[in-house]
Structure 1
Amino acid sequence: MVGITSFRAYIPPYRLSRGDIARVWSTRSLGGNRAVAKYDEDSLTMAVEAVIGCTSRSRRQPDGLFFATTTGPYQEKQASSLVAAAADLSREIRTSDFSGSLRAGSIAIHAAADAISSNSANSILVACADCRMGKAKSPFEQIFGEGAVALAIGREDVLATIEGSCSISSELLDVWRADGDSFVRSWEERFAVGEGYLKIMERVISRVMGEHGLEPKAFSKAVLYGPDGRSHALLAKRLGFETSQVQDTLFNEIGNTGTAALPLMIVAALEEANPGDLILAANYGDGGDALILKATEDIRACRQERGIRSLIGKKIPITYERYMNWKGMVPVHEISRPPSPPHSLTCLWRESRAVMALYGSRCLRCGVPQYPAQRVCAECRSKDQIEEYRFSDKKGRISAFTVDHLTTNLESPAVVGVVDFEGGGRLMCEVTDCEPHEIKVGMPVEMCFRKIGMHGGVHRYFWKARPAQQ
């Protein structure tokens, strides 16, 4: 049977209190916090984080990578190929972007399952991530959150089989973002929820249950997408699900994460599932998707170190002013520095494995790794006796650092450190997710893929160090 064989979520540790937002604008707080991606994160970097975690668990190369997002870095350029390159996936895979709808994640899951069912692929990774923005003072500013998730769909070592599915399409303009818009727009809430969300979700869920002869009581968990907490609770009640059956939307802890919302809830449900449990998952956006999942015996072994609850528990509070700066919502003074030189795209192509996947070299004679790759070994001086060596998955320690108060980053000061990797090799790079007063010589770190800027319409990415996760 086709199903989910591996999964991994990523939630940024930074939290903005909805109470702080309400105090700034003298509005009502929805309670709880929303997850906020740092200024050097976007949908693509978060997807890379989730994909790397997912592939490290499954230990097999997929035949394809589908990336679902409404906030990709480019309008005309495939983002999934960038994710695949950063995650060091094989070039002999199928990559595809799914966008334009909040259902993009569930549509990608359907497409992956169909490809495997037709024997055109054995395993496909589905990555979902979003960084949607609402205008200041709008309800969306409190509702939205940011996060990512990766699901591996395949036939072997299945954790949850896909027992059934269905989809419907609906043309209704309720929530949208036109080309060039930074913020999500919406129509009147009662119309959007009453004529759109509730009717479509009831229809698709009733249809999938009817086709398989199931009633609400048959499901251990009902994983239902909801634009907000109130609408979600109303839908569950109208469908006849008990409160204990309804999967937490994670709204109070991280917010509505767009295309990643339903897959994140599926992961949370699977982390607590028992063999034989039936799980109903339903998504909304220009129509509806519904899936019926059944947990297998292998689900017992799937208790991850970095599960949803663990990620939610890692909170770093930020101020509203810091949030606005990270998101570029207010013009701020920039340090007078010479403009960055244009990036050579030819050079980037030539050094793509070094930049995107952090490949260096290792001497075949003495075994010393180096970054960037060198023809001549700095240790034994042998020439052209090297092999490729990846540093992105290696841990290390800070051997030296500096605090730069003249940085052109959105935040000053920036921390630049020298990382000595376990097994050898050294790299000087930025240190992120760490306040300047927290960094120390000897601090254990790991590498993470982050955005370092934009020049001439080209998004620039590279690897940074961050404090090692426990």
Structure 2
Amino acid sequence: MGSLKGPSRILAASLGSRTSDVFRFCAGFYSRIKYIKRRGTMVGITSYGAYIPWYRMNRTIIFEQLGWFNPATASVARGEKAVANYDEDSITMAVAAALDCLGEISRGSVDGLYLGSTSIPFAQRQNAAIVSQGLDLPSGVRTADFGGSTKAGTSALLSALDAAGAGNRTMVCASENRLAKPGSSQEHTYGDGAAAFLTGNENVLAHFKGSFSVSSDFIDFRRIQEEKFCHGWEERWIRDAGYSRIIPEAVAGLTNRYDLKMSDFAKIILACPVAGAMKGLIKSIGATPEQMQDTMIAQVGDTGAALPLMMLAAALEDAKEGDKILVVSYGSGSDALYFEVTDKIGEAQKGGRKGISGYLAERKDLSVYGKYLVFRNLIPLEVGIRGEEISPTAMSAVGRDGNAISALVGSRCGACGTPQYPKQRICVNPDCGAVDDMEDYRFSDKKGVLASYTGDNLAFSWDPPQIYGLVDFEDGGRILLDLTDCSLDSVKVKMPVIMSFRKKYADPQRGYYGYFWKAVPVKQ
């Protein structure tokens, strides 16, 4: 006890022989002090990204097919919605948004990954872990799924910001690919998309200033685990007792807590996809239409848990230093978050990300309603013998191959620098031939050009013909890959391509989706 000083010595004397208790107390006390000090540092968003699928469907197409049954849906049959391709889901879109966010940032600097979604494909197989492996993050990262309501995205972001206070750098993804009953209002309004943010306490471009959360078991939409589609209550009640009551409560809670006025905010993000409710909300919270960030409902649709974060990504694309941004989500309550843009925003906006604006500009009309239903697996389709044949997945082989499948990791020769895929012990360079001198080399973030291609009308594809191509990568290496987000007549030799994480196949009998990388032509 002679080595103890000050309060620790006094406490040790009072405890007598229980010296170990003293040390535990002191360790916990000083750890808490260090934590509080870390919380005093600037934390917030350090990078951002987004993803919107290539396909867009005009809502009048849905109404023309099924409006005869529910004429009231004419009120929502305006604009268009983003539609995920047949090989996309909330996992693949989260990976795409995260890649847009990461850019040249080292994967090894990321400490965690959180995924917020109400449409994650696996009930028991952590979806965030699949995203993390697709990004080739270190195995030591902390991963977690957030779901259960459309505020799952902001819940994940708040948890990541808490982690940033402790010095951790966390990737947050919010992604949605929700199903809706054919002909319903939700089928018209639901859209697909994703957003991603990196949080931390260094090079912060949007300083997190505070938040206020409201929890409410308001039963507007619900879905039990065995169901595909949500059940909703009467729409006017959802608007008046849900959006119009809960969102103002969250906004008032935040402004009162931090002594703010609505005029303080340069941009206000309200995750409200109901146009009628939005007008009343603007008035009730004391904001102006000029302050409101576009919901993108008319171009993308209601992206659920991803909506407030996609709107935040869009706001950051145009933000300037000193702007205050209010983000308000909705679903089983509401989260209100308050950010202030820093001097780092200009550098971030010059980055190579595509972002919301870039993906909005890349689009292809999906004009056949039946094709949309097939992509969503909402109607049975005669797929023939080739389509029915599904070989069992060897989970042991998937685990053994590891990041070769999930992150397209091959090898590079340490002697001559030649990359190759899959990994080999012997260098493929005929002028080298080095043995067991290889290092891991990731192809998934490398650009390439199409050396050759073919369209196969015999092989099964949900969007025939099946297109394959030999891709030559810019720094060496050649891989035969499927092509997606393209048509056969648009593909050309020597066209640039990038890699995209997609569903390779589905094995419903064994509850498994196989993911791999495909080549996507760069849109000119």
TM-score normalised by structure 2 residue count: 0.87
Structure 2 residue 24 is the aligned partner of structure 1 residue 15: no
- The alpha carbon displacement at 1:203 in A equals 0.7
Q: Contact between 2:91 and 2:120, CA under 8 Å: does it hold in 1? A: yes
Structure 2 residue 93 is the aligned partner of structure 1 residue 46: yes
Q: What is the one-letter code of the residue matched to 2:136?
A: D
Counterpart selection for 2:371 from 307, 322, 333: 322
SS at match of 2:316: helix
Matches within 5 A, 1:175-214: 175-214=221-260
Structure 2 residue 418 is the aligned partner of structure 1 residue 371: no
Deviations for 1:401-425, whole angstroms, at most 9, x for unmatched residues?
Answer: 1211122221211101111111221
Matched positions, count: 468
Q: Counterparts of 2:125 and 2:155 in 1: how far apart (Å)?
A: 20
Aligned to 2:468: 416
Q: Contact between 1:40 and 1:450, CA under 8 Å: does it hold in 2? A: yes
SS at match of 2:424: coil
- The alpha carbon displacement at 1:349 in A equals 0.4
- The alpha carbon displacement at 1:46 in A equals 0.5
Aligned to 1:164: 210
Q: Counterparts of 2:64 and 2:309 in 1: how far apart (Å)?
A: 32
Q: Contact between 1:406 and 1:412, CA under 8 Å: does it hold in 2? A: no
SS at match of 2:91: helix
Q: Contact between 2:100 and 2:354, CA under 8 Å: does it hold in 1? A: no
Q: Contact between 1:46 and 1:147, CA under 8 Å: does it hold in 2? A: yes
- The alpha carbon displacement at 1:306 in A equals 1.1
Q: Contact between 1:6 and 1:58, CA under 8 Å: does it hold in 2? A: no
Structure 2 residue 156 is the aligned partner of structure 1 residue 108: yes
Q: Contact between 2:87 and 2:502, CA under 8 Å: does it hold in 1? A: yes
Aligned to 2:435: 383
Aligned to 1:62: 110
Matches within 5 A, 1:115-134: 115-117=163-165, 119=166, 121-134=167-180
Q: Counterparts of 2:445 and 2:46 in 1: how far apart (Å)?
A: 22
Deviations for 1:406-456, whole angstroms, at most 9, x for unmatched residues?
Answer: 222212111011111112211111000110111122121111100011112
Q: Contact between 1:80 and 1:95, CA under 8 Å: does it hold in 2? A: yes
Deviations for 1:17-61, whole angstroms, at most 9, x for unmatched residues?
Answer: 011112122341531110001000000000011112212254462
- The alpha carbon displacement at 1:91 in A equals 1.1
Q: Contact between 1:228 and 1:251, CA under 8 Å: does it hold in 2? A: no
Structure 2 residue 504 is the aligned partner of structure 1 residue 463: no
SS at match of 1:113: helix
Aligned to 1:397: 449
SS at match of 1:179: coil
Q: Counterparts of 1:57 and 1:268 in 2: how far apart (Å)?
A: 20
Q: Contact between 2:240 and 2:277, CA under 8 Å: does it hold in 1? A: no
Which range moved further: 63-72 or 364-373?
Answer: 364-373
Change (3 A) 1:133 1:55: same
Which range moved further: 35-44 or 409-418?
Answer: 409-418
Q: Counterparts of 1:361 and 1:469 in 2: how far apart (Å)?
A: 29
Counterpart selection for 1:333 from 382, 385, 390: 382
Change (3 A) 1:59 1:234: farther
Q: What is the one-letter code of the residue matched to 2:434?
A: S
TM-score normalised by structure 1 residue count: 0.97
Aligned to 2:492: 440
Aligned to 2:17: none
Q: Contact between 2:115 and 2:127, CA under 8 Å: does it hold in 1? A: yes
Aligned to 1:30: 77
Q: Counterparts of 2:201 and 2:416 in 1: how far apart (Å)?
A: 42
SS at match of 2:60: helix
Which range moved further: 108-117 or 30-39?
Answer: 108-117
Q: Contact between 1:65 and 1:95, CA under 8 Å: does it hold in 2? A: yes
SS at match of 2:248: helix
Q: Counterparts of 1:341 and 1:149 in 2: how far apart (Å)?
A: 34
Which range moved further: 242-251 or 312-321?
Answer: 312-321
Q: Contact between 1:143 and 1:228, CA under 8 Å: does it hold in 2? A: no
Q: Counterparts of 2:343 and 2:77 in 1: how far apart (Å)?
A: 39
Aligned to 2:393: 343
Q: Counterparts of 2:520 and 2:373 in 1: how far apart (Å)?
A: 23
Matches within 5 A, 1:291-306: 291-303=337-349, 304=351, 305-306=353-354
Structure 2 residue 273 is the aligned partner of structure 1 residue 219: no
Q: Counterparts of 1:373 and 1:57 in 2: how far apart (Å)?
A: 24
SS at match of 1:399: strand
SS at match of 1:260: helix
Deviations for 1:276-326, whole angstroms, at most 9, x for unmatched residues?
Answer: 111111111101110111111111223255131221121110122221111
Q: What is the one-letter code of the residue matched to 1:381?
A: G
Structure with greater helix percent? 2
Deviations for 1:173-208, whole angstroms, at most 9, x for unmatched residues?
Answer: 111121121122201112222112211111111111
Counterpart selection for 1:3 from 44, 61, 70: 44
- The alpha carbon displacement at 1:381 in A equals 2.6
Counterpart selection for 2:477 from 425, 449, 459: 425
Aligned to 2:360: 312
Q: Contact between 2:269 and 2:308, CA under 8 Å: does it hold in 1? A: yes
Structure 1 segments unaligned to the other structure (5+ residues)? none
Q: Counterparts of 1:308 and 1:56 in 2: how far apart (Å)?
A: 15
Q: Contact between 2:100 and 2:355, CA under 8 Å: does it hold in 1? A: no
SS at match of 1:336: helix
Q: What is the one-letter code of the residue matched to 1:245?
A: Q
Q: What is the one-letter code of the residue matched to 2:178?
A: R
Q: Percent identity?
A: 39
- The alpha carbon displacement at 1:391 in A equals 1.0
Counterpart selection for 2:130 from 73, 82, 89: 82
Which range moved further: 34-43 or 16-25?
Answer: 16-25
Spell out structure 1 runs of 4+ moving beyond 3 A: 57-60
SS at match of 1:441: coil
Q: Counterparts of 2:178 and 2:279 in 1: how far apart (Å)?
A: 23
Aligned to 1:136: 182
Q: Counterparts of 2:313 and 2:342 in 1: how far apart (Å)?
A: 14
Q: Contact between 2:43 and 2:208, CA under 8 Å: does it hold in 1? A: yes
Q: Counterparts of 1:466 and 1:267 in 2: how far apart (Å)?
A: 23
